[in-house]
Chain A
């Protein structure tokens, strides 16, 4: 099946989600407030910290603010396009509704994790992009044409990595069936990527860079803007980890489907 057909299906999903979301307008507004409050508090925390210290590791206030905005942007993109699907997947597994998804003539991963879009999140993404651009201008390197291009490429790659990592944890729901605990694990693990990699100890960095490369998601795109040079080995490792994670997703998903017992049958 071609990409064009997937795109048409995806447009259909988005259209349905717009109609659903417009039925709960207050929820739409409170979500926007919630996301803005979370960001304001994260920024306020950085400002308070840097009232007491000049630097944390090699980074000073502008770098940390840029990193926080970047983490927020990645978070908002994930929340908008994917997050709701993980909760629905949990319900579908428990109730057996996954049967209906599996009978569709499209990729089951696509059907499960791309079906629901939180359209209201697009507003937060716009704010987040504004914050990334603003805090990016405060960095010594600033925005140049070359950096914009590389940053965009790394952001797309980071999103691919992030989605793969989240699905990888999500596949544990095939084992537990009750998905709430796994979803909580997923959400709490996100706290790890919201801090730069260098704050963590050596073994923690190793686990979350090599085994489950969550630390790369925000730290590597941030370094595109912060660092003068990006060692070729680091860049190669970043892109290789995306391949590794998606290979793991493929294996875990297939095994999960084989394990699935179909509660409704």
Chain B
């Protein structure tokens, strides 16, 4: 067992080393992808609140909306990890997964280790950003000893696993399909909106709120952001942990099923 962990850790370290090799490129990407949309959202909400002459919107003040958007942007960095999982489809198409069938480590294991490596680097970058905001402003209220805080962290961890598994499954569709990037983008566009980014779920109509309770998305952005900035316990959002865990399990089973079916189709092109 120790041997297995050593192999995994070696793969994680290699990925971290690879990212550090291109660290400016990685940091630039991270900054651009998170900061530009965040600035636009903050301006939009500032204009919205300026139009209400300081009145609350669905229980949000201008400050609490800013905190919501900032925390959401941080959590997104822990979930939407730039990773080599998007290369799964390329590996399948070019017949490169043959090596994983021969190696003592599976394709899923190595891709997961690479994902963890990316997560550690991106997460560290996000934490530096949070520390900077916390040190100089009061824009991101947080109650680190509350139950809300720990549940929010658990939710973000599960959301990250769900996001990864979903991308892995989409990548596996390359056994059958040629072009997959549209599926990735479609998932991302839909998931962000359904996650409450940029409009919090509680501003949506009741039918939408009810439906989104059973979907995995609001637990990625909306729920953790609301939990972490709330001084009062919010037990109505705690159910997100088992719901997300169920989605992760379901996606893992789908992944295993698709992988087995795909392997039967695999022709090892290029060998």
Contact = CB atoms under 8 A, between A and B. Distances in A.
Interface of A: 24, 26-27, 30-31, 33-34, 37-38, 41, 44-45, 48-49, 51-57, 176, 178, 180-181, 184-185, 188-189, 191-192, 194-195, 198-201, 204
Nearest to B190: A37
A57 B51 contact: yes
Given A31-B182, A41-B193, 10 more contacts: A38-B189, A41-B190, A51-B205, A52-B57, A55-B51, A56-B48, A178-B22, A181-B25, A181-B28, A184-B33
B61 interface: no
B51 A184 contact: no
Contact of B203 (A52, A184, A189, A204): A52
Interface string B26-66: 00110011001101100110111011100001100000000
B185 to A, nearest CB: 6
Nearest to B56: A52
Nearest to B192: A41
B109 interface: no
Contact of B43 (A27, A181, A184, A199): A199
A188 B36 contact: yes
Interface residues of B, number: 35
Contacts of B72: none
Given A37-B190, A184-B32, A204-B43, A49 B48 contact: yes
B178 A195 contact: no
A181 B182 contact: no
Contacts of B186: 30, 33-34, 37
Interface of B: 22, 25, 28-29, 32-33, 36-37, 39-40, 43-44, 46-48, 50-52, 57-58, 177-179, 182-183, 185-186, 189-190, 193, 198-199, 203-205
Contacts of A31: 182
Given A31-B182, A188-B33, A199 B46 contact: yes
Contacts of B50: 57
B52 A53 contact: yes
A37 B191 CA distance: 11
13 contacts: A24-B178, A30-B182, A30-B183, A38-B189, A41-B193, A45-B199, A48-B204, A52-B58, A56-B48, A57-B47, A181-B29, A185-B28, A189-B36
Nearest to B176: A26
Nearest to A204: B43
B237 to A, nearest CB: 20
A191 B199 CA distance: 16
Contacts of A24: 178-179
The 7 closest A-B pairs by CB, nearest first: A199-B47, A27-B179, A188-B36, A30-B182, A41-B193, A34-B186, A52-B57
A192 to B, nearest CB: 6
B79 to A, nearest CB: 18
A15 B116 CA distance: 44
A188 B182 contact: no
A45 B190 CA distance: 12
A57 B47 CA distance: 7
